[in-house]
Amino acid sequence: MDNILVSLDSVNKVYGDEVKTQVLFDVSLKIPQGQFLALIGPSGSGKSTLLNILGALDRPSSGTILINQQNLGQLNENQLADFRNKFLGFVFQFHYLLPEFTSIENVLLPYWIGKGKPNRQIFNEAQRLIERVGLANQINKRINLLSGGQQQRVAIARALLNRPQLILADEPTGALDTKSGDQVLDLMQEINGENNTTFIVVTHDRNVALRAERIIELIDGRICKDFFPQEMGEKKSIEILESHACAWDDQSQK
Amino acid sequence: MLSFESMIAWRFLKESRSQTILILLGIIIGVSVQIFLSSLISGLQQNLIEQTVGDSPHILLKAQENSPKSILQKGNQSLIIPVIAAAKKDAYILSYQPILKKLDTYSDLKVVSPLVDGSGFITKAEVSRPVVVKGVFLERADGIYKINQRINTGKAVLGGTGVLIGRSLAEDLKIETGSIIEVRTSGGNSGTYAVNGIFDFENTAINSSWIFMDIYRSQALFELNGAVSRIEMQIEQVFQSESISQKIKNDFPDFLIETWQTNNRQLLSALQSQSASSYMIQFFVLLAVTLGIASVLAIAAVQKSREIGILKAMGTRTNSASRIFLIQGAVLGLSGSILGSLVGVGLIKLFQIASQSGGALSFSIRVEFRTAITLIVISTIASIGAALFPARKAASLVPIEVIRNG
Ligand SMILES: Nc1ncnc2c1ncn2[C@@H]1O[C@H](COP(=O)(O)OP(=O)(O)OP(=O)(O)O)[C@@H](O)[C@H]1O
Ligand SMILES: [Mg+2]
């Protein structure tokens, strides 16, 4: 049996104090170590909300999350910050780099935050990562002088530096053209293969989703579909994606 | 080693250059005005005090009022009349030598000078004028009165029957060096003396009435039998007079000790209210500058909220995020106030040059190192205080808000 890295149990999320909107309904989910998972669903279905909870950036209204056997509900704010720094890497749609800093400085930030001034070895590692994402010539360029795709790749290099177990990406290719989107996805899959790093990638792009090992579709805050496209084959997978039936429909029909 | 927070703080400062310069300018102007103002006022005050007490005694040691009784008890008839006359004004110190010997051992006393102070009349060619006789040891009294420097004609010598008189008196009575004068006391004694020199104290009251005389001669003239009126002292630091006089009081509990402050209360309270208003101005300058820094930094914090959110998402702790802004405040405060102090010193130099060429400035202004350090410390603390608001903002910032709203 695979090693379970992430485990969600009946996670609910309700926003608002006076007008309450429930966004996630009893989401339960187990993600093994090394999986490349695509999270899809219509706009407003709760993908980002779920990703933020997985990323220890937000807390669920109820339910438990275990990442690497650590119950996130038991950590205080500072411990959550440290947890994010050590175990998680983030790649967001709008890349979220610091515009004042160069590529290499941005990549070094997670280390700097967690452990203080980087030594030579860490510096070389950061350099290697930037070369790895194909930006050898942009190492000392300021972030705001890079293209969107280049920035997204810097963000991936940054997410990798502290060797996190889990990388969370919210529409990492959303702002990119198809070609650079593909490059970014290739890169993430290569890293997934090399380091057995677990990826959870939120995407609107069906082609991106089909390249993942596992697809989970959220509809109105519930898991509608959960399947493995590589095992199904492309035709069957597209069929599943296009059908309107959900897992809970089966149950209610019974 | 540079901490993560200082590195980020430094980058933020460098990046928002115009804001940084704006804040620095504010601090520089504020601190330089404070330095200029406080130095000017303390220079003025120092000068005023020096002019007031520079050539007069700072501390006096006098006998208590009851001491004339002991003279009377001696039954020496010839003493009684002058002593009673004198006692209306002042009591005498009967045996001053042991006191003098002891006071000479005090290291913080610059000058110790016993004085016989008596009044009488000077007569020359049937014209007479009231005079104040100052019986002194010339070498000691010179330390207070700078007699040597103030002799216009003749020599500052008090040997034998020699005396020194003031310029106005000399002009009035047509006395020259070498003239013989007669001094008559209210008690009826008299003596004749040779004028050795004529002094100019740049003070008409003194120039027209004072006569310096050898202390032994004056004791003979007033029939004091070795007593003196008081012992006059000068110290290095005029404002230490209270603590030094306390020490003297402890050693000589039977005597009265007066300090220059006793006779200059009005001047001192005027200076005090001047200082108070200067502190008030400085306080409001500080307040204005601090509010300015606070508002600019608060705007900076809002502008940087995206960056702070990203840093927090990557694991920056709450305190760490606050520290980024506190460090900015400290850096701005420290560098701004150091620069401001330098500018303040420059302003004073300029002011001195400008007023010297106009001939208006008759005193020197010095920037006290201590004042500058105090201002630097206060300004730095105030800047850190001004950074508290953005720091709290950074602390309360939730990273998902930033990530959600871009
Ligand atoms: N802070 C909040 N307060 C109230 N409602 C919120 C908040 N954040 C999100 N929501 C609501 O929760 C629902 C899910 O939002 P979420 O951002 O998770 O959707 P999503 O699946 O990521 O959508 P998209 O594909 O457009 O990014 C939406 O209806 C949204 O309006
Ligand atoms: Mg979203």
Residue B385 has pLDDT above 60, yes or no: yes
Rounded distance, CA A56 to CA A162, Å? 16
- Tokens 């310069």 appear where? B21
pLDDT at B164: 94
Q: Do A77 and B318 touch (CB under 8 A)?
A: yes
Nearest CB to B315 within list A58, A85, A170: A85
Ligand 1-lining residues (CB < 6 angstroms): A 15-16, 21, 23, 41, 43-49
In degrees, rounded to 5, the angle at the alpha carbon of residue B221 between the alpha carbons of residues B218 and B224 is: 75
* Closest chain A residue to the Cα of B312, Cα to Cα: A81
**What's the CA angle centered on A85, arms A81 and A88, to 5 degrees?**
110
Lookup: tokens for B263: 């006779």
Question: Closest Cα to residue B162, out of B179, B185, B145?
Answer: B179
With an 8 Å Cβ cutoff, is B318 touching chain A? yes
Our CA-based measurement puts residue A138 at a distance from the nearest CA of chain B, in whole angstroms, of 20
> Which is higher by pLDDT, A146 or A1?
A146
In B359-368, which residue ranges form alpha helices assigned H by DSSP?
Answer: none
Query: Residue B90: its pLDDT value, please?
Result: 59
Among B77-91, B214-228, B326-340, which stretch is predicted with the lowest mean pLDDT? B77-91
CATH superfamily of A4-253: P-loop containing nucleotide triphosphate hydrolases (3.40.50.300)
**CA-to-CA distance for B348 and B366, rounded, in angstroms?**
8
Ligand found nearest the CA of A44: 1
Neighbours of ion ligand 2 (CB under 5 A): A 48
CA angle B32, B38, B42 (to 5 degrees): 145
Q: Write down the mean pLDDT value for chain B.
A: 86
* Per-residue pLDDT, B361: 58
| CA–CA distance, B292 with B284 (Å, rounded to integer) | 12
In this complex, is the C-beta atom of B4 within 8 Å of any C-beta atom belonging to chain A?
yes
pLDDT average, residue stretch A155-160: 89
What DSSP state is assigned to residue B157? -
Among A83, A100, A117, the residue with its CB nearest the CB of B15 is: A100
State percent of chain B over pLDDT 90. Answer: 44
In this prediction, residue B360 has a pLDDT band, given cuts at 50, 70 and 90, of low
Q: CB of B107 within 8 A of CB of B18?
A: no
* Closest residue by CA, ligand 1 atom 2: A15
Domain segments of chain A as ranges: 4-253
Who contacts B389 (Cβ-Cβ below 8 Å, separation ≥6)? B294, B297, B298, B301
The per-residue pLDDT for range B111-124, each reduced to its tens digit, is 999 999 999 999 87
The answer, yes or no, to whether residue B386 has pLDDT greater than 60, is yes
Angle at A42 between CA A36 and CA A48, to 5 degrees: 55
Mean pLDDT on A97-112? 91
- Sorted by where each begins, the domain ranges of chain B are 4-52+268-405, 65-90, 95-253
Other Cβ atoms within 10 Å of A216 Cβ, number: 22
Q: Is B303 on the interface with A (CB under 8 A)?
A: no
- Beta-sheet pairing, B230-235 with B109-124: antiparallel
**pLDDT band of A222, cuts 50, 70, 90:** very high
Instruction: With beta carbons less than 8 A apart as the criterion, state whether B181 and B163 touch.
Output: yes
Single-letter code of the amino acid located at A155: A
Nearest CA to ligand 1 atom 1: A15
CA dist B11 and B25 (Å) reads 19
What is the average pLDDT across B5-9? Answer: 91
Among B403, B404, B405, the strongest candidate for a mutation testing the A interface, having the largest count of A CBs within 10 A, is: B403
- Find the angle CA(B375)-CA(B379)-CA(B380) to the nearest 5 degrees: 120
Each residue's pLDDT tens digit, B259-298: 988 878 888 888 889 888 888 988 998 898 888 888 888 8
B310 touches chain A (CB under 8 A): yes
A81, A92, A117 member nearest B315 (Cβ): A81
What integer is the mean pLDDT of A197-219?
93
> Measured between alpha carbons, how far is A145 from B126 in angstroms, rounded to an integer?
105
pLDDT at B160: 81
- What percent of chain B stands above pLDDT 70? 91
**Does A113 sit within 8 Å of B320, measured CB to CB?**
yes
User: Average pLDDT of A241-247?
Assistant: 82
Cα B337 to Cα B360: distance, rounded to the nearest angstrom? 30
Find where tokens 């609910």 sit: A12
Given a cut of 90, whether residue A59 has pLDDT beyond it is yes
Residues in chain B: 406
The enclosing H or E element of A13 equals strand A4-15
Structure confidence at residue B218 as a pLDDT band (50, 70, 90): very high
Ligand in closest contact with the CA of B400: 1
Spatial separation of the C-alpha atoms in residues B49 and B237, rounded to whole Å: 11
Cα distances (angstroms) measured from residue B326 to each of B219, B294, B317, B330, B392: 73, 11, 15, 6, 10
- pLDDT digits 0-9 by tens, B283-337: 998 898 888 888 888 888 888 888 999 999 999 999 999 999 999 999 999 999 9
Average pLDDT of every residue of chain A:
89
Question: CA nearest A222: which of A14, A47, A33?
Answer: A47
CB contact under 8 A, B317 and A58: no
Query: Could you say which ligand is closest to the alpha carbon of residue A204?
Result: 1
| Contact yes or no for B116/B215 (Cβ under 8 A) | yes
pLDDT number for residue B71: 47
CA distance A173 to A223: 23
B177-189: average pLDDT = 89
Q: A46 CA distance to ligand 1 centroid (A)?
A: 6
Is it the case that residue B405 has pLDDT exceeding 80? no
Question: Quick one: which of B28, B45, B32, B38 has its CA closest to B278?
Answer: B38
- Give how far B404 is from chain A: nearest CA, Å: 9
CA distance A82 to chain B (A): 5
Q: How far is the CA of A48 from the centre of ligand 2 (A)?
A: 4
Which residue in A48, A110, A116 is closest to B314 by CB distance? A110
| Residues 11-40, chain B, touching A (beta carbon < 8 A) | 11-12, 14-15
Read off the DSSP letter of residue A98: -
Q: Tell me if chain A has a CB within 8 Å of the CB of B406.
A: yes
What is the pLDDT confidence band of residue B66, given thresholds at 50, 70 and 90? low
pLDDT at A41: 94
Nearest residue on chain B to A83, alpha-carbon basis:
B315
What are residue A219's phi and psi, to 5 degrees? -130, 125
Nearest to B122 by CA among B181, B63, B163, B71: B181
CB contact under 8 A, A100 and B307: yes
- B207 — pLDDT class (breaks 50, 70, 90): very high
Q: What is the mean pLDDT of residues B340-364?
A: 80
CA of A236 vs chain B CAs: smallest distance (Å)? 34
CB A75 within 8 Å of CB A239: no
